[in-house]
Structure 1
Amino acid sequence: MEGFPRKSVVNKLLVSYAETSDSKLLERAFGLVERAFEEGKQTLFEKETLMYLALALARCSRPVPASIILRKLIRMEEYPPVTAWSAILAYMSLSSSGAYLSAELILETGYLFLDNRIDPRKKSNAPLIAMKPNTIAIGVALAGCLMSGTTRIAEQLLDIMPRIGVKIDANLLVLMAQIYEKNGRKEELKKLKRHFDEAHNLNDVQLRQYYNCLLSCHLKFGDLDSASQMVLEMLRKAKEASNSLAAATLKFEPAKEGNLSHSPKVSDAMELGTEDKGGYQLGSLISFDDFCRDRNFISLEGEAKKILMYLSMNLQKQVELIMTERGILQATEKAYVKLAKAFLEAGKTKELAEFLIKVEKEDSPSSVEDSALIDVINSCISLGLLDRAHDLLDEMRFAGIKASTSVYSSLLKAYCKEKRMNEVTSLWREVRRAGIQLEASCYEALIQSKVLQKDTQGALHLFKEMKEAKLPRVGHRGFEVLAGSSAKSSEAGFMAKLLEEIKEGEVVDCGVHDWNNVIHFFCKKRLMQDAEKALKKMRSLGHTPNAQTFHSMVTGYAAIGGKYIEVAELWGELKSLAAATSMKFDQELLDSLLYTFVRGGFFVRANEVVEMMEKGKMFVDKYRYRTLFLKYHKTLYKGKTPKYQTEAQSKKREAALAFKKWVGLF
Structure 2
Amino acid sequence: MDCYFITSCMDCYFITSSPFLRNPVPRTPPPSLSHLPTPPKCVAPSATTTPSNTLYLNKQLSAALKDRQTDKAWTSYQQFIDAELPSSTCLSRLVCQLAYQGTPLALTRAHSILSRLRKQQLVHRLDANALGLLAMATAKAGHPTPALSIIYSMLSIGHLPHVKAWSAVLSRLSTPRDALKLFHSILEHLSLSPEPALLSLSYPDVAAFNAVLNACANAGDAVNFVEIFSRMPKFELIPDALTYNIMIKFFARIERKELLVAVLEKMLAMKVAPCATSFHSLVAAYVGLGDLEMAEILVRAMSEGRQDVCALLRERSPRTTAMEFDEISSMIESLGLDISHDSSSAPLLLPKSYHPDSRIYTTLMKGYMHQGRLNDVMDLLETMEKQRDSSQPDEVTYTTVVTALVREGLMDRARAMLSEMASRKVPANRVTYNVLLKGYCRLVQMKKAEALVGDMKEAGIELDVVSYNILIDGCIVIDDSAKALSYFNEMRSKGIAPSKISYTTLMKAFASSGKPKLASKVFDEMLKDPRVEVDMVAWNMLLDAYCRLGLFEEAKSIVLRIKENGMVPDLATYGSLANAIAIARKPGEALLLWNEIKERCKDGGGEGPPPLKPDEGLLNTLADICVRSAFFKKALEIVVCMEENGIAPNKTKFKRIYVEMHSRMFTSQHASKARRDRRSDRKRAAEAFKFWLGLPNSYYGSEWRLEQFNGNVNEGDD
**TM-score normalised by structure 2 residue count:** 0.31
Higher relative contact order (CA 8 A, sep 6+): 1
Q: Which has the higher helix share?
A: 1
